[in-house]
Amino acid sequence: MMSKAVKTPAGEVLHMKTSFKEDQKLEQVYTGGPVVLAKDGRHIFCCCGQDVKVVEVASGRVAATLAGDTELLTCFTVSPDGATVVATSRLMEIRVWAWEEQPAPRVKRSWKTRDGPIMGMGY
């Protein structure tokens, strides 16, 4: 930690911090499109450009980012148990994530559609 000595008018010497450790940061979590609240109420799933962000309701912290391809999402859905997310984009690629897996979410399966973009889906 770096500090700078500053003398007050009363003659006291104060050591002021000049560098700080990041405690938390704000990041964008929603850019439009579907939003799904998990059945247990602990997480919100929302579109953020080409990704799905999983946000903890209690803290507002991003619990996971499910990275999409290079195009915006057209839709996504969450399994009834909240453990699996299925999403698709304008590139017509469907991705299935196990989002709670550690150390990072993983794509369980992906494939391309042939007849055009998917605009809605459900579990």
pLDDT, tens digit (0-9, with 9 covering 90-100), for 60-92:
999 999 988 888 899 999 999 989 999 998 888
What pLDDT does residue 1 have? 56
pLDDT, tens digit (0-9, with 9 covering 90-100), for 40-65:
999 999 999 899 999 999 999 999 99
pTM for this prediction: 0.76
Cβ partners under 8 Å of residue 4, min gap 6: 15, 16, 18
Q: Is the separation of the CB atoms in 35 and 27 below 8 Å?
A: no
Residue 64's nearest CA partner among 94, 102, 34 is 102
